[in-house]
Each structure stands twice: as C-alpha cells, then as structure tokens.
Chains A and B, each alone.
Chain A
Amino acid sequence: MLKVEDMHVYYGAIHAIKGVSFAVNEGEIVALIGANGAGKSTILKTVSGLMHPRSGSISFCGQDITHTDAYKLIRTGLAQVPEGRRIFLQMTVQENLDMGAYVNKEVSQKDLDMVFDYFPRLKERRKQIAGTLSGGEQQMLAMSRALMSHPKLMMLDEPSMGLAPILVDQIFDIIKELHKAGTTILLVEQNARKALQIADRAYVLETGKITLSGTGEELASSDDVKKAYLGG
C-alpha cells in the first residue's frame, strides 16, 4: 500500500533521513520506533507531502507520490495525525471536525456519529473551543479530525505523548478498533513497548537509518531493542 524506497531528506544542510526504505501493506499495523531526534516525524512529514525528499521515491496504492503536495494526498486516502496534535486551538471542536471533512465538501451526520461513537467525550464538547480541551481530549480530536476523511492509511505521530497511562491505554484501544474496522495504520512512537504490542511489523530507526525490522513480537524480544528502548 505504502512503499518508501531509499529516501533521503534534508533540512537545509542537515541530512536528517539517510536512505530509508520500508513498506506498509494493506491491513497492517506497522510501528516505527526510535529515540527522540531519530527522524520519525521527518519520515511522516515527507510521506504526507509536507516535505519532499531530495532523492528516493514514495508510492501509495500504486501511485507515485514522491513530489505530491500534502493537500492533494489526503484525497487519495492518506491521513496524518501530526506530532503534538496540531488541532486548531481557536476553533470549536465541531469546526475542527468540519476541517477534517474539508475534502468531503459537506460534513455528514453519519461521519460525526462515527467519530462520536469512538470518542463520546467529544460529543459533549462539540461547541467548546478546542484550546480548552485536556491533552487527552485534544488527541482524540486530532484522531477524529483525521477520521472524517475516511483514510485508507492513517499515520499517527506519537499519539501517546504527554498522556497519563490510562489515557494511553484508551488511545491504543481505539487504534486497534480503527484497525479492525479496516484502516491500515502506520504508528510512530517513543513508547516502544506499547507500539510493539499492537504492531504486526515494526522498524527501528536510529539517526536517520533503519537498523532493525521484524514482527512486533520479534523486536519486542530482541536483546538490542530491549536494551535500547524497553529499559533492559
């Protein structure tokens, strides 16, 4: 479904991604783990078209999207829940969802019901300004907003960041539910333990390069991964 080949990405002179190749197949949950600064967010931003690679290629559902701009990609079924949620803080919850449905032209009640089904708390807060929501609610809103466009592939960048453990569990449960409902997932996490638990396959990223890959179980039991990311 998603195929990245020998991708190099720069920030000016900084060589942030140094020849990364990976793939996500339809129906999978794939995790990308790695320490802070490894380049996980850069990879997601490049796949979603907010940045472009200097070399290498990216294809999605058989289409070359290496140089496609972000605003066009969402129409092909690729959605990203960015790091730090990036909801529109001055807009209401409802307006954020309206923006999520921007590509559908109209916001259907059916779609709203779907996201409120996943996140009932948002329904009560529809008219509230998004900036007044708690961190967990903001993450829920960011995910709901991405769901409004019915993505085939949803990329989540550190959805558990800054959340209390109980909320982290909730968010991961929802990710599993979304997956069951047919959405393919590419998950970026520093919380390697949780990510490897739900992932079919995973990649380990170190300073811009993929150093390990395998099934979630394989990596979770690998000594290297245990030492570096699972606290021994």
Chain B
Amino acid sequence: MQIIQYLINGISIGAVYAIIALGYTMVYGIAKMLNFAHGDVIMVGAYISFCVTNYLGAPAWVALIAAMAVCTVLGIVIEGLAYKPLRGTPSLAVLITAIGVSYFLQNAAQLIWSSSPKSFTSIVTMKPISLLDGQLVITGEVLVTVAVSALVMVGLTLFTGKTRTGKAMRAVSEDRDAAQLMGINVNRTISTTFAIGSALAAVAGVLLCSTVPTLQPTTGSMPGIRAFTAAVLGGIGSIPGAMLGGILIGIIETFAKAYISTQLSDAVVFSVLIIILLVKPAGLLGKQVQEKV
C-alpha cells in the first residue's frame, strides 16, 4: 500500500510541476527563450495569495484571482522591460538576463517579505478521502491539483488549436516573419504568451504552497528547475509533453526520496533526464524538427 501512496503523492506534486512546465513550454515555444525567472513568478504568486488571505482576510478564490492578476501584469512587465529590448540578440544574452530577473525577484521578495519562512494555509478545504481503512489517504490538495492541471492542459490545447489568437501563437512559434506577413503582431503575441504563462505560474504557486506549506523567497526556484526538466523531458514546446514530463518528474522525485535518499532525489531526476535525452533527444513527445538554415 505504501508504494501506491507514494505514487499518489508523486502524481500530486507532479501535477504542480506540470502546470509550471506548461508555462515554460509555451514561452519557449513562442518566444524561443528559456525564462529562468518563471519559477520566481510562482513564488510571487504564492506571496500575493498569502497576503490577501492573511492580511485582508479574503476568501481563497479571491486570493487566487489576485495572485493571477498580479503575476499576469508582472509577466508582461518582465517581458517588456527585460526581454523585448533583447529581441534578435544572441540567446545567451537573453538567458543571462533571465537569470538576472530571477535573482531580482528573489531579492525583491526578501526585501518585501523578509527571508523568514511563512506558513502558508492551504486554499483547499476539501476533506481527505480515506481508502482501505486508512491505508491510503487522498487529500483534497491531491484531487484539486490533479484536476486543475488536467483542466489547464485541455484548456491550452483547445486555445492553441481552435482560437484565432491561439493559432496566431503557433504561427509565430513556427515562423515569425511569415506570421508578420499575415498581419500578426509578433510583439503583442509574445506579450500575451507571457501573460498566460505567468497567470499559470500563479495558480501553480498557490497549489504548490497548499501542498508544501513553507513559503520563502527561494520557494519557486527548485520547483522551477524541476518543471523545466519536466518540459525538456516531455519535449519542450509540446503541451501534452509538459504534462507527461511533470507527472513523471513528480513520481520519480517522490520515489527517489522514499527509497534512495532525500538529498539525492534531484540527482536522480537529472540522471533520468540525461538518459532519456540520450535515447530521445527531442524529449518523449517532442517533434524532431530540423534546424532552419
């Protein structure tokens, strides 16, 4: 029974990684950049939610919406101020800037909220479900997290597949110049992508801290890196890939913590990533795209 309990826990944390990875993958697919600050947007989302519930006494759904709103604006501002001026420059310059933004957000959070951990109250009020005389426990957080991540995946798939804006995003992702010739405003499309990715980061932040209730300025960084790993594992740029990668990384991490060692769990996660990339360089569900000349 223990093993099934680990599996459930793994899927639950994996579902959070999946939501983060979906944001990573969308931004990478459309803006063609690794936004290393994505994990820190998660942390900001969690702090906003924390403040709205604890200081304003607002209900959980208000806190969630506030976190999403703040992160959406934050995402657009980061893109506009830090990344947009670098459009067309070597990707290394953009990557270093993204790392800079990541530190900036962590330091700003430290200044505003101090580095001492806050205890986050879960936004889920659902009672845990006990199965087989209490041998298996499925918490409300597990159910909500898994449901939300599935919903986000389906929503993004429909959005990019069916709507005019979503299709324009795919067009920009494939060929920026050709997209412009169609009348698509590339800058605005990239901005919209950051807005969506950051709103998802807020949702992920709230769910992450509902599952693991310690909140501090570095809260987003490891989950951010694991989610990035998940996106690469699943095939970066692929929506179902991000989902699959997230769940797998969550399960692998949980089992590594349980059966190998807590300290080594990240090493195990990265080893798995390296092995899979050796066999399938484009990731599990990634398309093998040849580089354009």
Contacts from A to B (Cβ < 8 Å): 48-50, 69-72, 74-75, 79-80, 82, 86-91, 95, 98-100, 102-103, 105, 145-146, 149
| CB contact under 8 A between A50 and B168, given known A88-B174, A90-B287, A91-B174 | no
From A75, A88, A90, A95, B178 is in contact (CB under 8 Å) with A88
From B170, B181, B184, A80 is in contact (CB under 8 Å) with B181
A129 to chain B, nearest CB (A): 11
* Residues in B neighbouring A91, C-beta threshold 8 A: 167, 170-171, 174
| CB contact under 8 A between A79 and B167, given known A86-B175, A88-B175 | no
- A79 and B174 CA atoms in complex are apart in Å by 19
Cβ-based interface call for B179 (8 A): yes
- A95 and B168 CA atoms in complex are apart in Å by 10
Are A103 and B182 interface neighbours, CB within 8 A?
Answer: yes
- Pick 6 A–B contacts, CB within 8 A, sort by A: A80-B181, A82-B181, A86-B181, A88-B171, A88-B174, A95-B170
* Residues in A neighbouring B183, C-beta threshold 8 A: 71-72, 74-75, 102-103, 149
Closest 8 pairs (CB-CB, A-B): A103-B183, A70-B180, A86-B178, A74-B183, A102-B182, A99-B182, A71-B180, A88-B174
Are A69 and B182 interface neighbours, CB within 8 A?
Answer: no
* Residues in B neighbouring A80, C-beta threshold 8 A: 181
* Residues in A neighbouring B177, C-beta threshold 8 A: 50, 70, 82, 86
Inter-chain pairs besides A79-B181, A82-B177, A149-B182, 5 sampled, C-beta below 8 Å: A70-B181, A71-B180, A74-B182, A86-B181, A102-B182
Are A71 and B186 interface neighbours, CB within 8 A?
Answer: yes
Contacts from B to A (Cβ < 8 Å): 164, 167-168, 170-171, 174-175, 177-186, 287
**Which of A50, A71, A145, A149 has the most chain B CB within a 10 Å cutoff?**
A71
Are B185 and A71 interface neighbours, CB within 8 A?
Answer: yes
| CB contact under 8 A between A145 and B182, given known A98-B167, A102-B164 | yes
| CB contact under 8 A between A90 and B170, given known A71-B186, A102-B164 | yes
- A8 and B277 CA atoms in complex are apart in Å by 47
Are A95 and B167 interface neighbours, CB within 8 A?
Answer: yes
Are A50 and B174 interface neighbours, CB within 8 A?
Answer: no
Are A74 and B181 interface neighbours, CB within 8 A?
Answer: yes
- A104 and B177 CA atoms in complex are apart in Å by 19
B70 to chain A, nearest CB (A): 30
* Residues in B neighbouring A87, C-beta threshold 8 A: 178
**Which of A89, A90, A99, A100 has the most chain B CB within a 10 Å cutoff?**
A99
* Residues in A neighbouring B179, C-beta threshold 8 A: 99
CB nearest to B176 among chain A residues: A50
Are B175 and A99 interface neighbours, CB within 8 A?
Answer: no
CB nearest to B177 among chain A residues: A50
Are A69 and B171 interface neighbours, CB within 8 A?
Answer: no
CB nearest to A48 among chain B residues: B181
**Which of B181, B183, B184 has the most chain A CB within a 10 Å cutoff?**
B181
* Residues in A neighbouring B171, C-beta threshold 8 A: 88, 91, 99
From B167, B185, B186, B287, A99 is in contact (CB under 8 Å) with B167
**Which of B182, B185, B186 has the most chain A CB within a 10 Å cutoff?**
B182
B283 to chain A, nearest CB (A): 16
A73 to chain B, nearest CB (A): 8
| CB contact under 8 A between A99 and B180, given known A71-B185, A88-B174 | no
Are A90 and B174 interface neighbours, CB within 8 A?
Answer: yes
* Residues in B neighbouring A88, C-beta threshold 8 A: 170-171, 174-175, 178
| CB contact under 8 A between A102 and B184, given known A88-B170, A91-B167, A95-B167 | yes
- A57 and B185 CA atoms in complex are apart in Å by 23
- A104 and B170 CA atoms in complex are apart in Å by 18
CB nearest to A105 among chain B residues: B164
